[in-house]
């Protein structure tokens, strides 16, 4: 997809992010995948994940795999 083709998606960010401005936003894709972008650069790069990739990432987050 091109950067402009993401304009019609509903982007959301975590309620934990507050007003700090350095956040990621996610949007649901028509094929069940997820698009991810930086909230300060909405016209910048977007990374797409398949549904399986996103579920694996969330599973890892919930299991603490990325904790320092």
- pTM beyond cutoff 0.85: no
Which residue reads 């977007």 in tokens? 46
Quick one: pLDDT at residue 4?
60
Q: Are 46 and 29 in contact (CB under 8 A)?
A: no
Report the run of H or E that residue 47 belongs to, with start and end: strand 47-49
pLDDT in tens, 13-56: 877 776 766 788 999 999 999 999 998 888 889 999 999 999 99
């Amino acid at each position: 997809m091109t950067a402009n083709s993401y304009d019609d998606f509903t982007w959301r960010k975590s309620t934990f992010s507050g007003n700090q401005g350095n956040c990621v936003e996610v949007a649901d894709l028509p094929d069940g995948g997820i698009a991810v972008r930086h909230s300060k650069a909405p016209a910048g790069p977007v990374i797409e994940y398949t549904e399986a990739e996103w579920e694996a990432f969330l599973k890892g987050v919930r299991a603490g795999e990325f904790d320092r």
